[in-house]
A and B are shown apart, each in its own frame.
Chain A
Amino acid sequence: MVTVNGEARSAAGMTVEQLLASEGYESGRIAVELNGDIVPKSRYAATELRDGDTVEVVRFVGGG
């Protein structure tokens, strides 16, 4: 199991890119934290999730 924004997901073995697609995130408007570190966008396709990982997806909305 992988914890995604506090909820358990069967995402072990998926890449970050696949997880984002399956959860419906627009990759241009987010930041992704994996086990305490931010994953660079260039690594989304190559970063594979493992059992026990914790992922936090931060969504940016407009205004500033």
Chain B
Amino acid sequence: MAVPARAEMDEALFARMGPELAGKFKNARVAVCGLGGLGSNIAFALARAGVGELVLIDFDRVDVSNLNRQQYKACQVGMDKPSALAENLLEIAPYISLETHFERVTADNAAGLLRGAGVVCEAFDVPEEKSMLADAVLSSVPEAYLVAASGMAGLGPANSIRTRRIGRRMYLCGDGVSDVSTGLGLVAPRVMLCAAHQALAVLRILAGEFDV
């Protein structure tokens, strides 16, 4: 099937959002750290909204157990997540710029990996890594905003997922308490809700709307 031309896709977004807002999204560089249930869904939402450049970072490969909530296909099991997600995003947004890193983010390499990102999404699984990334972004990536997540496991009510602003440069999405290690783990709609909170927080920051 033929893919629409770049100008046609740009025009569709411009018509919907106006050139000013569409331009802000198109000129943005957003990093997504962790490409699981949160990160893969955040990346889909941002690509559809017309964000121009995404940095996709994960050290893991697609596993069959990921398919209940992550934006991968059964035929991609075994692929590294950054490449698999890039493939899927390019089917939706063929003109997006993607930078992929198949590696683990650490306190030492974070500043280099995240250089130039206006907003960084924390979409890790492990609390210690979430905390490490918050520290690294807020200490070593001076201009970036951080949109992090805590608490989206289980089948709790949708309305307990919310976005809070923590200080000037950090936003935190989730219910704050639902840990994956207790209960039935992560289910697609609740993880997607949290990812949607994060993606919307990113777009609001890019639009210059900093309240929650």
Name A's B-contacting residues (CB within 8 A): 28-31, 33, 36-38, 40-42, 56, 58-64
Contact = CB atoms under 8 A, between A and B. Distances in A.
Interface residues of B, number: 40
Interface stretch (B9-17, B20-28, B95-103, B128-136): B128-136
B202 to A, nearest CB: 16
A2 to B, nearest CB: 16
Interface stretch (B48-56, B84-92, B178-186): B178-186
B34 interface: yes
Contact of A28 (B128, B151, B168): B128
B39 A64 contact: yes
**What are the nearest 7 A-B pairs in CB distance?**
A63-B180, A61-B179, A60-B127, A60-B130, A29-B127, A40-B139, A38-B138
B166 A31 contact: yes
Contacts of A28: 127-128, 131-132
Contacts of B176: 59, 61
